[in-house]
């Protein structure tokens, strides 16, 4: 009996607590900002010292590792900057904690490449509403509670790839196999949609489409099956370079790598990246998907050192890479 | 004669002291890690950043989902079982919360109740498979993990379902967004409060109810418990229901905190929940352990993560440290005097 009462008391207390909680909350998620217009209050000019917090979604992809490297390299040229890096390892909840830790450490500017848009929106808004300038890279967050977004247009990149195939590789029409990124991810959808816009009205048609999940080995096995079912495929359009390399290997195993063409996206200026693959002739072309790392540090300089404003959105241009310019662009990126 | 009695009495007394030291092993561990965190805390203008009240509540918020799941896991482990499905059930519940409110236009209360029922039923089925049909809990819940992930993928169409708030169709009621908020002047995160309530209820329940005596009896010696009239099968099924229900609750909290239900949510969380239970001093053989210990274990993990995060330590190193702590905690168990 006494026990029952004890349990009942606890439950009542719990209910009361929950109710009192429900009444006392305030909304923090919206993007009412104190920053719009005028320079950031964090700006102390060239005499200040600033800590940049860089929250990366994951470092397992070469593209994101390169983004961190670009930020590190660009920040080394600015004596007022030190950069702290965090790696969320593809976990939204971890990335929220990473940003909270940055806030505790009182960073002066937040650069974030979100793992996913919606789950990161409220913690980004929290930083922004505390007066910390927020530079969002690659993937966006919802709403407008950030200082600037820098990234590339995946639809535009896909369209450029499609036009290249329609005008240069298959001017008289032909058959294309598509290796898609991870199903359900935004870039996979946009790169696929853009390509279809690019080939519209030409004689080029997509005869097969398979999910390679961004991975080289998955791309290889999918291409293998694709070539068996459709031996007349002339061009493989891959949503990233590693899958295009996988398709090249599959074609090589079937002895037809010479008669086929492969194009990818990303064009990372690293030894294992797409630029080298084009230079060495495995891929016919790749399209650069800029990491925006350098541009992010430039934006931070404008905000903190020049006390200037930056545009809300900066879309970076892509560049078509063929055997003609692959080596030059690689050397420029690593100079 | 009298000398030897005295001798055994002092020995027994000493053993009591040692035993109670071990009983509160996880609390001592938590205090020790807390002190380490204070000593090694990064500073900013002389302020210890770790002790910043915002930061301390961040710690509790960050472990609240793991903590809620670990409380349920404690019950299962106390009867000598294990539940590997809780992380996947969290994902299923997060997806369920999002889909029910955003796509099926359910209210908050209805969605929460349905999701909790799904969690409990999932636990019930696993409990039946394990306790009635005698399949090992490890295997049953390993299978359950796959099933829950599969269901979550099917229900969500394979991708995260974002939760937008408002009154219109395709929007969740604003009340649900409270789970991502803080109360008491924006200080105390709601998920931390929910964790606290779950923990207090479980502690009181485990201290006082007849059911809890059955739990400990089964974990101590299942045969003896059965022979002395403990409804073993029923108790085992119920603990799986508790674990499933609490995993679903953690999933609701997860969806509310991140404003999204994704079928990949909660990946690997079951291991953190088990770690919290083990660090908390509960024996994986069953029969020994407390929810207080589990709460201390979860907080200990949270403080560790926070300290390493504040120093910007590579997350891969954080995994190593976490592994070491688990081994040390489990090693200490072996030194524990058997009573």
**Residue A234: predicted pLDDT:** 96
Contact between B163 and B176 under an 8 Å Cβ cutoff? The reply is: yes
CB atoms within 10 A of CB A240: 29
Residues A177 and A273 in one domain: yes
Angle (CA) A215-A217-A221 rounded to 5° is 115
Number of folded domains that form chain A: 2
Cβ neighbours of A53 in B, within 8 Å: none
Quote the percentage of chain B above a pLDDT of 70: 94
Cβ neighbours of A185 in B, within 8 Å: 159
Q: Which residue of A has its CA nearest to B175?
A: A22
Cβ neighbours of B312 in A, within 8 Å: 84-86
Contact between A97 and A103 under an 8 Å Cβ cutoff? The reply is: no
Average the pLDDT over B22-45 and give the result. 84
**Residue A29: predicted pLDDT:** 41
CATH number at residue A139: 3.40.50.2300
Distance from B14 to chain A by nearest Cα, in Å?
32
Contact A97 B305 (CB under 8 A): yes
Instruction: State pLDDT tens for residues B54-87.
Output: 899 999 999 999 999 999 999 999 999 999 999 9
Distance from B13 to chain A by nearest Cα, in Å?
31
Nearest CA to B85 out of B130, B39, B19, B35 is that of B130
Domain of residue A220, residue span? 154-289
Residues A179 and A256 in one domain: yes
Cβ neighbours of A94 in B, within 8 Å: 315
Question: What's the CATH class of domain B25-36+50-334?
Answer: mainly alpha
Contact A29 B177 (CB under 8 A): yes
Domain assignment of residue A239, yes or no = yes
Domain assignment of residue A264, yes or no = yes
Contact between A153 and A313 under an 8 Å Cβ cutoff? The reply is: no
Contact between A187 and A158 under an 8 Å Cβ cutoff? The reply is: no
Nearest CA to A115 out of A133, A131, A95, A132 is that of A95
Of the ranges B55-64, B90-99, B328-337, which one carries the lowest mean pLDDT score? B328-337
Contact residues for A254 (Cβ-Cβ < 8 A; gap 6+): A224, A227
Contact B306 A101 (CB under 8 A): yes
Contact B183 A6 (CB under 8 A): no
Contact B259 A122 (CB under 8 A): yes
**Residue B11: predicted pLDDT:** 65
**Residue B331: predicted pLDDT:** 81
Instruction: State pLDDT tens for residues A259-307.
Output: 999 999 999 999 999 999 999 999 999 999 999 999 999 999 999 999 8
Contact B175 A17 (CB under 8 A): no
In the predicted structure, residue B91 carries a pLDDT above the cut 50: yes
In Å, how far are A29, B113, B182, B263 from B245, measured between CA atoms? 29, 10, 24, 18
Contact between A30 and A143 under an 8 Å Cβ cutoff? The reply is: yes
Residues A279 and A304 in one domain: no
Residues of chain A with pLDDT under 50: 1, 16-36
Residues A86 and A176 in one domain: no
Contact A105 B49 (CB under 8 A): yes
- The terminus-to-terminus CA distance of chain A in angstroms comes to 79
Average the pLDDT over B259-287 and give the result. 92
Contact A14 B197 (CB under 8 A): yes
In the predicted structure, residue B10 carries a pLDDT above the cut 70: no
Residues A191 and A91 in one domain: no
B303 at interface of A, judged by CB pairs closer than 8 A: no
Compute the radius of gyration of chain A from its Cα atoms. 24
With a CB-CB cutoff of 8 Å, which residues 255-274 of chain B face chain A? 257-260, 262, 265, 267
Residues A125 and A101 in one domain: yes
CB-based burial label for A37 (10 Å; 0-12, 13-18, 19+): exposed
Structure tokens given for A109: 């500017």
Residues B178, B190: Cα–Cα separation, whole Å: 7
Residues A101 and A168 in one domain: no
Compute the radius of gyration of chain B from its Cα atoms. 21
Distance from A198 to chain B by nearest Cα, in Å?
27
User: In this predicted complex, what is the ipTM?
Assistant: 0.87
B314 at interface of A, judged by CB pairs closer than 8 A: yes
Domain assignment of residue A322, yes or no = no
Residues A170 and A276 in one domain: yes
Instruction: State pLDDT tens for residues B151-205.
Output: 999 999 878 899 999 888 889 998 899 898 888 888 899 999 999 999 999 999 9
Contact between B126 and B244 under an 8 Å Cβ cutoff? The reply is: yes
């Amino acid at each position: 009996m006494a026990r029952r009462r004890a349990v009942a008391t606890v439950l009542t207390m719990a209910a009361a607590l929950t109710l009192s909680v429900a009444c006392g909350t305030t909304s923090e998620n919206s993007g009412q900002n104190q920053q719009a217009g005028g320079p950031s209050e964090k700006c102390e000019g060239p005499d200040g010292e600033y800590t940049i917090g860089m929250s990366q979604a994951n470092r397992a992809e070469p593209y994101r590792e390169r983004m961190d490297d670009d930020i590190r390299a660009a920040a080394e040229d600015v004596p007022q900057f030190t950069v702290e890096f965090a790696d969320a390892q593809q976990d939204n909840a971890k990335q929220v904690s990473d940003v909270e830790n940055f806030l505790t450490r009182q960073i002066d500017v937040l650069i974030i490449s979100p793992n996913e848009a919606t789950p990161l929106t409220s913690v980004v808004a929290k930083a922004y509403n505390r007066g910390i300038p927020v530079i969002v890279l690659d993937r966006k967050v919802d709403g407008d509670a950030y200082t600037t977004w820098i990234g590339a247009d995946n639809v535009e990149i896909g369209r450029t790839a499609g036009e290249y195939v329609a005008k240069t590789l298959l001017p008289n029409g032909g058959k294309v196999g598509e290796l898609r990124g991870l199903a359900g991810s935004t870039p996979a959808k946009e790169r696929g949609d853009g390509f279809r816009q690019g080939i519209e009205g030409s004689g080029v048609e997509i005869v097969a489409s398979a999910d390679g999940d961004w991975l080289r080995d998955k791309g290889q096995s999918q291409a293998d099956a694709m070539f068996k079912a459709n031996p007349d495929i002339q061009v493989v359009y891959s949503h990233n370079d590693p899958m295009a390399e996988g398709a090249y290997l599959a074609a090589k195993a079937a002895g037809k790598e010479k008669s086929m063409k492969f194009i990818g996206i990303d064009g990372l200026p690293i030894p294992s990246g797409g630029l080298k693959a084009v230079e060495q002739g495995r891929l016919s072309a790749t399209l650069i998907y800029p990491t925006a790392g350098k541009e992010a540090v430039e934006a931070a300089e404008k905000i903190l050192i020049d006390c200037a404003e930056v545009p809300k959105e900066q879309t970076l241009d892509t560049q078509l890479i063929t055997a003609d310019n692959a080596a030059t662009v690689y050397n420029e990126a690593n100079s | 004669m009298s000398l030897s009695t005295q001798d055994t009495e002092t020995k027994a007394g000493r053993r009591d002291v040692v035993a109670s030291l071990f009983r509160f092993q996880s609390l001592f561990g938590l205090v020790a890690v807390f002190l380490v965190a204070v000593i090694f805390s990064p500073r900013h203008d002389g302020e210890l950043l770790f002790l910043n009240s915002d930061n301390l509540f961040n710690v509790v918020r960050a472990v609240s989902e793991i903590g809620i799941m670990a409380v349920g896991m404690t019950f299962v482990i106390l009867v000598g079982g294990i539940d590997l499905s809780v992380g996947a059930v969290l994902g299923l519940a997060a997806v369920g919360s999002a889909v029910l409110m955003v796509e099926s236009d359910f209210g908050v209360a209805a969605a929460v109740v349905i999701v909790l029922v799904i969690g409990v039923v999932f636990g019930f089925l696993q409990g039946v498979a394990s306790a009635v049909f005698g399949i090992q809990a490890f295997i049953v819940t390993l299978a359950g993990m796959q099933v829950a992930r599969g269901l979550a993928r099917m229900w969500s169409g394979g991708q995260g379902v974002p939760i937008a708030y408002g009154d219109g169709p395709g929007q969740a009621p604003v009340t649900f967004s409270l789970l991502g908020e803080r109360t008491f002047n924006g200080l105390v995160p709601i998920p931390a409060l929910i964790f606290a309530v779950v923990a207090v209820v479980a502690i009181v329940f485990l201290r006082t109810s007849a059911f809890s005596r059955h739990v400990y009896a089964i974990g101590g010696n299942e045969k003896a418990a059965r022979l002395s009239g403990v409804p073993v099968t029923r108790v085992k099924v119920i603990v799986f229901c508790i674990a499933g229900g609490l995993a679903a609750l953690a999933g609701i909290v997860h969806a509310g905190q991140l404003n999204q239900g994704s079928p990949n949510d909660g990946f690997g969380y079951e291991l953190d929940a088990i770690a919290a239970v083990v660090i908390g001093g509960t024996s994986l053989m069953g029969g020994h352990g407390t929810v207080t210990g589990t709460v201390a274990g979860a907080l200990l993990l949270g403080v560790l993560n926070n300290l390493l995060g504040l120093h910007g330590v590579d997350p891969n190193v954080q995994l190593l440290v976490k592994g070491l702590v688990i081994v040390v905690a489990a090693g200490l168990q072996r030194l524990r005097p058997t009573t």
